[in-house]
């Protein structure tokens, strides 16, 4: 596994070794020991999630507050997404900055997102299967988020606004400046 730290401290890109033969492909999507050695710390994942999205679906930007803050290990099983991570850690030198990257079933790359980040992704293909591990359980009362097109974040989603599909909930998310962090 190749690991590279992104410009957001503690947020890593993980590229697995893949094995291809006449049957297809094999790779380890998660290996606890190697993963923890690579990031230099322990993470106790307690929930695995899968979402399936049509092309143009934008989910985000989400985080859970305080005691339910989640670190995530995200990965695309099928299709391609533009994955976006925003640093909302108070006092962080990269506060308000984002990192984005395409994740797909071709690059087979995962991103480790530490606690204190907001996360979202845009499905670039139909029937995207997005899979991720979380180190804190889902808690609806702790759910929070930031509006995907908050001008302060200046995220280029690389798709026409008219083609984006968002939930009612995500369209009503607040701006970064209005969050109580
Ligand atoms: C996230 C989540 C949702 N749900 C339920 C609540 C709701 O009825 C339905 C759909 O929820 P949402 O619309 O919040 O799903 P979604 O927009 O896919 O939410 C996810 O977005 C990405 C970007 C993330 O980073 C995740 O942490 C998560 O917030 O699933 C759970 O039961 N458990 C969970 O862990």
Q: What integer pLDDT is reported at residue 118 of this predicted model? A: 98
Structural domain count, the chain:
1
pLDDT the model gives residue 125:
98
Domain for residue 71, yes or no?
Answer: yes
Residue 22 makes CB contacts below 8 A (sequence gap 6+) with none
Catalytic: 98?
Answer: no
10-residue stretch averages of pLDDT, the chain, 181 residues long: 96 97 96 94 98 98 97 98 98 98 97 98 98 98 98 98 98 96 87
Ligand 1 atom, smallest distance to 61 CA: 23
Question: Does some domain include residue 137?
Answer: yes
| Residue 181: per-residue pLDDT | 87
Residue 25 lies in a domain: no
Whether 39 is in a domain gets the answer: no
ipTM surpassing 0.90 = yes
Q: What is the pLDDT of residue 36?
A: 96
CATH number at residue 95: 2.60.120.10
The residue to mutate among 54, 59, 123, 148, having the most atoms of ligand 1 within 8 angstroms of its beta carbon, is 59
Task: Kindly state whether residue 154 falls inside one of the protein's structural domains.
Answer: yes
Q: What is the pTM of this model?
A: 0.97
Look at residue 113 in the predicted model and tell me its pLDDT.
98
Q: Determine, yes or no, domain membership for 181.
A: no
Residues 69 and 115 sit within 8 Å (Cβ to Cβ): yes
Residue 80 lies in a domain: yes
Containing structural domain, residue 50: 45-174
Annotated catalytic residue, options 12, 63, 68, 132:
132
Q: Is residue 157 part of a domain?
A: yes
CA distances to 34, 66, 160 from 97, rounded to whole Å, are: 29, 20, 22
User: What pLDDT was estimated at residue 95?
Assistant: 98
């Amino acid at each position: 596994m190749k690991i590279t730290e992104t410009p957001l401290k503690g947020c890593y890109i993980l590229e697995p070794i893949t094995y291809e033969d006449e049957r297809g492909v094999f790779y380890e999507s998660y290996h606890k020991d190697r993963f923890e050695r690579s990031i230099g710390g322990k993470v106790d994942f307690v929930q695995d999630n899968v979402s399936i999205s049509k092309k143009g679906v934008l989910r985000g930007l989400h985080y859970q507050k305080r005691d339910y803050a989640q670190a995530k290990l995200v990965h695309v099983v099928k299709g391609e997404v533009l994955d976006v991570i925003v640093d909302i850690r108070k006092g962080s030198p990269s506060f308000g900055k984002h990192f984005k990257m395409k994740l797909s079933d071709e690059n087979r790359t995962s991103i480790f997102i530490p606690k204190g980040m907001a996360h979202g992704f845009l499905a670039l293909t139909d029937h995207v299967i997005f899979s991720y591990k979380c180190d804190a359980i889902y808690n609806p009362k702790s759910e929070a988020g930031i509006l995907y097109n908050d001008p302060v974040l200046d995220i280029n989603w690389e798709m026409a606004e008219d083609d984006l599909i968002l939930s009612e909930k995500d369209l009503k998310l607040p701006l970064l400046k209005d969050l109580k962090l």
